[in-house]
Chains A and B, each alone.
Chain A
Amino acid sequence: GAVVSQHPSWVICKSGTSVKIECRSLDFQATTMFWYRQFPKQSLMLMATSNEGSKATYEQGVEKDKFLINHASLTLSTLTVTSAHPEDSSFYICSATPPARKYEQYFGPGTRLTVT
């Protein structure tokens, strides 16, 4: 149990375009999902906390107008990178917490974004 999927697993886009990444909890409902970014040989950095039915909470330094988060249902959160630039190229990973395991986070497989 506690499986989280992401789609797509990798994407290449041109500068100036927008890209949407989906995060789904497959076998549980998640009122809260988290979005992280990981640059090569660096650790994961929390970008934002996504709350079902309400606005996301962004970490300091993360532009909310650039990284749009929508948590439309208890099993789906989306991250849209708007007007992407090459410096947005990174590994984006989401996670979710099953209700019965409050302090454990289960991560998706990640999405590799390359902006050319």
Chain B
Amino acid sequence: SQKIEQNSEALNIQEGKTATLTCNYTNYSPAYLQWYRQDPGRGPVFLLLIRENEKEKRKERLKVTFDTTLKQSLFHITASQPADSATYLCALVTGANNLFFGTGTRLTVIP
């Protein structure tokens, strides 16, 4: 069966450290992989997109890697801040431009 798993339901880190979130998938062949941020009671906000032929993408303090052999993406937030506390969702994009979401990791950055 198809699965998208994010490594942990919750992750707590100290302010200033790098947060690393993992997204693993099975039985998908995504054209793209995306990461979103979702705050409580709000819709997701698009952060980054990485294509299957790209290894790494960066945007300010964010970095995403995509390994299609391992079927895994890593999402890093460097120099984390309390304002980064939120749920982060990975999503796979299939050829039909449909998004399939992982279960999310709730990140808490402790001051």
Residues of A within 8 A of B (CB): 4, 6, 32, 34, 42-46, 49, 91, 93, 95, 97, 102-110, 112
- Number of A-B residue pairs having CB atoms within 8 Å of each other in the complex: 53
Q: Are A43 and B46 in contact (CB under 8 A)?
A: no
Compute how far the CA of A34 lies from the CA of B99 in the bound complex, rounded to whole angstroms: 9
Q: List, sorted by A's number, 29 A–B pairs whose CB atoms are closer than 8 Å.
A: A32-B97, A34-B99, A43-B89, A43-B101, A43-B102, A43-B103, A44-B44, A44-B89, A44-B101, A45-B101, A49-B96, A49-B98, A93-B43, A93-B44, A95-B99, A103-B31, A103-B32, A103-B49, A104-B46, A104-B49, A105-B34, A105-B99, A107-B36, A107-B43, A107-B44, A108-B43, A109-B42, A110-B41, A110-B42
Residue of A nearest to B9 (CB): A41
Q: Is the CB of A106 within 8 A of B46?
A: yes
Chain A residue nearest to B96 in the complex (CB): A49
**Cβ-based interface call for B93 (8 A):** yes
Number of interface residues of B (CB under 8 A): 22
Q: Which residues of B contact A4 (CB under 8 A)?
A: 43
Residues of A within 8 A of B93 (CB): 103
Residues of B within 8 A of A (CB): 31-32, 34, 36, 41-46, 49, 89, 93, 96-104
Structural contact, B34 and A43, CB atoms closer than 8 A: no
CA distance A44 to B43 in the complex (A): 10
In the assembled complex, the CB of B90 is this many whole angstroms from the nearest CB of chain A, namely: 10
B58 to chain A, nearest CB (A): 17
Cross-chain contact B42 with A97 (CB below 8 angstroms)? no
Chain A positions within 8 Å of B89 at CB level: 43-44
**In the docked arrangement, what's the CA distance between A46 and B104, Å?**
15
Note all chain B residues with C-beta closer than 8 A to A103. 31-32, 34, 49, 93, 97
Name which residue of chain B comes closest to A45, CB basis: B101
CA distance A32 to B99 in the complex (A): 13
Query: Nearest 10 A-B pairs (CB), nearest first?
Result: A107-B43, A43-B101, A44-B101, A43-B103, A93-B43, A110-B43, A107-B44, A109-B43, A108-B43, A104-B46
* Complex CA–CA separation, A110 to B44 (angstroms): 9
